[in-house]
Chain A
Amino acid sequence: MTEKQAVRDNLPRVPDTGVVGRGRELAEIIKALLDPDIPIVTLVGLAGMGKTALALAIAHRLREQGEFPGGIVWLNASIVQSLDEVWESVRETLDLPSPQAARRHLREHPTLLILDGLNEAVQDMEILAFLDRLPRPSKVLVTSRERVGLVGKELIVEGPKYKVEAALVGAVGDGAQVTTVVTGDRDIIPVTRWTITGEHARVAQGAAYEVKAKNYAAAAEAYRQILVSFDPTGLTDDDRRRCAEISHRMGTCLRLDGQWGPAVEQQEDTFRQFKKLRDFHGQGRAYLEIARAYQAMNSYDLAALYYRDAHRLFRRAGDVMLAATAKEELGNLEYYLHVLKPAMADWEEAARLYEQAGRPGKVAIIRQNLAQVQAG
């Protein structure tokens, strides 16, 4: 009786530029979502790989095909703080009278929940348990920057824009050009090239493998070893840059290992090194990391200050993408603290910057957050 009625959803409306050349991946993901034996599909990929855009494209396609007649509910994991909020979103999107009715609905009508941006910041066990126990006919599509270990199928999303190698991959030998990316980190600088040699290269490779295995403490220690092996007298500018880059990675590993205080100190040092090099981008990366560490320490006031300065530095460095990231994370923090006016202003700015950076998926998500807040 409801067959002709439109499927209820709260999907962000995206300009149709989000996904290019993803036919194979789209098909694979949709197949997994329609497979009755797979309750959860998780898209894992580094920041900027287009996970959100992909998820959106899938959602719109499934909606058009009339799959999931129970509805499609889009949840932005970075601002959903509790299971209650999940239920409230479901209830509101599907226009149901109560959370109890929402539970019944999920049991009785195939519904698709999309949890976008599930990452280390969201460690609400309640939410994870809820996903694992979702009633059968309904499904969950999760996007995440790292493996979250949910049941079901996990698909790795690789970047269409540039090839990103997972952590110091490739031949690392004397004088090799090394591409490093710290996986699991939230702000991946697309590609950073720097040359390291000999013993440094060997240790750096070790560090990178530790990062890949999520042994962040061991990785930090390896980076520390490289740093102390530099003779502080007679450093060339290149050496200084290497030290700053390694210091930044070490600080990031410390944060990912939960050593927030030492992470802040390391990044303060990184900041000073980049400042000597007059490198705004490096300074901004250090500040973004400090902001995240302070946020993890619940020092929200300090985190906010550092996010603002990180935005300033990225703006000066001309990195629109990271400037947008800093603003977005600041907005998320303010939203979390219920200071809505600044949160909205910062999201507006983030959306504008993402637009400039050619990230329509991001823009759509933020606009939807804004619309939700405006709606009350």
Chain B
Amino acid sequence: MPEGSELLKFAAAKERWGWRDTPPFRVEPPIEDARQLARLFTGRQAELGRVILPLYNGRNILVRGMLGVGKSAFILRVLHELDAQAKAARERILPIYIYHFYGGTTDDFYRLILYTLSGILADKDDEAKGIQGALRGLKVTAGRSKGVSGKVGVHIFQVAEAEVGVEIGRETGREFTLENPHYFVDEFLKRATKRFGRLVIAVDDLDKARPESVRLVQTMLQGALPLLRSDKCAFILTGLTLPLAHMAAFDLYGSMLGLFDEAIQLNVLSPDELRTIAVKTLNLVRRQERDDAYPFDEEAIAEAATRSHGIPRLFNVICARVLEQAALQEIEVIDKDAFATCYEAVQIGVSAEVTPQMRSVLTIASRTPGGFSPEMPDEALDKLGFTTFVELMPLAEYLVANDLMIRQEYEGGVRYIVADLASRAASATPKGAE
């Protein structure tokens, strides 16, 4: 293939397929674009129905499920839905979405909430403004989403870094020493509810499924019990968690002193639902909407769904990459055979990106019956330099985060298998790595 022709080929494919733009098959939900999210969101209607009223009434919800299953999209959707319903019902609700806060001490959690509250109050409240200044060290950026109706009030807070040990508000000469932020949180909660009505605070991705961070989160939340129990606001949190199969109600969070009134388990999507996501995503950029997944034919899109193990994140990765390949290979309709060709090229691409260390881990995983699991043989662990499954988990989670492995829940607990997308990378000879 001559160099520099890729863009031309992709432009031609866009023309051929009737696209204004590249369809947004993304690994993360469109956090700041409520309209797009609302259009793409698929399924989960029963789950949505289960959470709106409890949140309105100040109860806490835990959303759990494996990486990429759509937890963030779900809670964002919940917030927007709450907002829309509240407007229609002339109720006052202020939904707040916090993400990229990876836990810390209980005080850190209070500071985060305090920062959030002072952020929404600062325009009319000098004390809040002062606290905002004092909390600058938290490296929080706040924004307001454009929203469905152009004035949706979902406040978005991104916490870039809030590690344990960040000392906030210790600067000398300041009026506030915020070593104990609890008082202010209480006070600002009162002010915020007075001004905005009910508060619904979503905190996304609290844990990264590593045993250590799970413990930190637990300690943190237990310390924050008075805040979480407060009837002034409802919390909705997401966490990966490591459940015993079918034991959602007894897992780490569910067992925490009735902290959460509902635990919503998000499971993998059906092939039909994934197909709908593809249709909706494509329609966002099509000059003329259609109700199929063209340029994928039905067999091809079903194949993409199968290969993604029902995980929307992986489905999006596969769709995006197969479409790129199809564009390069100047394919008009991606039928079953074309899909196979393109998908193989994608697998080769994935394989080429994998480091030798990762390749050997994947190889061991693919040769271990049942993948990495609590029952995996000692020899497989030995080869990896571990003596226990627990030790191996952070590495496995890293591979999951890189779409190379899948975490599955089964009767014995949790296990990791090689993602179909990475099956070529898991073959011993690095074919296509040249």
Contact = CB atoms under 8 A, between A and B. Distances in A.
Contact of A299 (B215, B245, B389, B413): B215
22 contacts: A297-B218, A298-B255, A300-B247, A300-B255, A301-B247, A301-B252, A302-B215, A305-B211, A305-B374, A305-B393, A305-B413, A305-B414, A308-B374, A308-B375, A309-B374, A309-B388, A312-B378, A312-B388, A312-B389, A313-B388, A337-B250, A341-B411
A247 interface: no
Interface residues of A, number: 25
B256 interface: yes
A302 B374 contact: no
Chain A binding surface, main DSSP class: helix
A339 interface: yes
A280 B388 CA distance: 10
B23 to A, nearest CB: 38
A261 B215 contact: yes
A301 B251 contact: yes
Contacts of B295: none
B85 interface: no
Contact of A339 (B242, B245, B375, B390): B245
Interface of B: 211, 214-215, 218-219, 241-247, 250-252, 255-256, 374-375, 378, 387-390, 393, 411-414
Contact of A287 (B244, B388, B414): B388
Given A264-B215, A299-B255, A337-B250, 12 more contacts: A261-B215, A275-B387, A287-B388, A297-B218, A298-B256, A300-B250, A301-B244, A301-B251, A302-B242, A304-B244, A308-B375, A339-B246
Nearest to B251: A301
Contacts of B256: 298
Interface in A300-350: 300-302, 304-306, 308-309, 312-313, 316, 334, 337, 339, 341-342
Interface in A273-307: 275, 280, 283, 287, 297-302, 304-306
Interface string A252-268: 00000000010010000
Given A283-B387, A312-B389, A337-B250, A300 B244 contact: yes
Contacts, number: 78
Nearest to A278: B387
B413 A308 contact: yes
A264 B252 CA distance: 15
Given A300-B244, A302-B242, A308 B389 contact: yes
B390 A306 contact: yes
Given A304-B244, A308-B413, A313 B387 contact: yes
A282 to B, nearest CB: 11
A171 to B, nearest CB: 37
Contact of A301 (B243, B375, B388): B243
Contacts of B214: 299, 302
Given A302-B242, A337-B244, A309 B390 contact: yes
Nearest to B245: A339
A297 to B, nearest CB: 7
Nearest to B241: A301
Instruction: Kindly name the residue among A261, A287, A299 whose own CB sees the greatest number of chain B CB atoms within 10 A.
Output: A299
Interface of A: 261, 264, 275, 280, 283, 287, 297-302, 304-306, 308-309, 312-313, 316, 334, 337, 339, 341-342
B241 to A, nearest CB: 7
A302 to B, nearest CB: 6
A305 B241 contact: no
Contacts of A264: 215
A355 to B, nearest CB: 21
A301 B413 CA distance: 8
Contacts of B247: 300-301, 337, 339
Contacts of A300: 244, 247, 250-252, 255
Contacts of A342: 411-412
A312 B390 CA distance: 11
B244 A339 contact: yes
Contacts of A337: 244, 247, 250
A301 B253 CA distance: 11
A264 B241 CA distance: 18
Contacts of B387: 275, 280, 283, 312-313, 316
Contacts of A299: 214-215, 218, 252, 255
Contacts of A312: 374, 378, 387-389
A339 B243 CA distance: 12
Nearest to B243: A301
A305 B214 CA distance: 14
B54 to A, nearest CB: 22
B387 to A, nearest CB: 6
A258 to B, nearest CB: 14
A133 B378 CA distance: 51
Contacts of B241: 301
Contacts of A313: 387-388
A305 B245 CA distance: 12
Nearest to A336: B250
Nearest to A300: B250
Instruction: Kindly name the residue among B388, B389, B411 whose own CB sees the greatest number of chain A CB atoms within 10 A.
Output: B388
Contact of A261 (B219, B250, B388, B390): B219
Contacts of B390: 287, 305-306, 309
A313 B411 CA distance: 22
Contacts of A334: 244
A207 to B, nearest CB: 26
B255 A302 contact: no
Contacts of B215: 261, 264, 297, 299, 302
Contacts of B378: 312, 316
B161 to A, nearest CB: 23
A297 B251 CA distance: 11
B249 to A, nearest CB: 9
Nearest to B211: A302
A312 B412 CA distance: 14
A283 B244 CA distance: 24
Which 10 A-B pairs rank lowest in CB-CB distance, beginning with the nearest? A309-B388, A298-B255, A308-B374, A301-B242, A299-B252, A301-B251, A309-B390, A337-B250, A301-B244, A337-B247
B397 to A, nearest CB: 13
Nearest to A309: B388
A275 B382 CA distance: 12
Contacts of B218: 297, 299
B250 A305 contact: no
Contacts of B389: 305, 308-309, 312
B224 to A, nearest CB: 15
Instruction: Kindly name the residue among B256, B374, B414 whose own CB sees the greatest number of chain A CB atoms within 10 A.
Output: B374
A316 B250 CA distance: 31
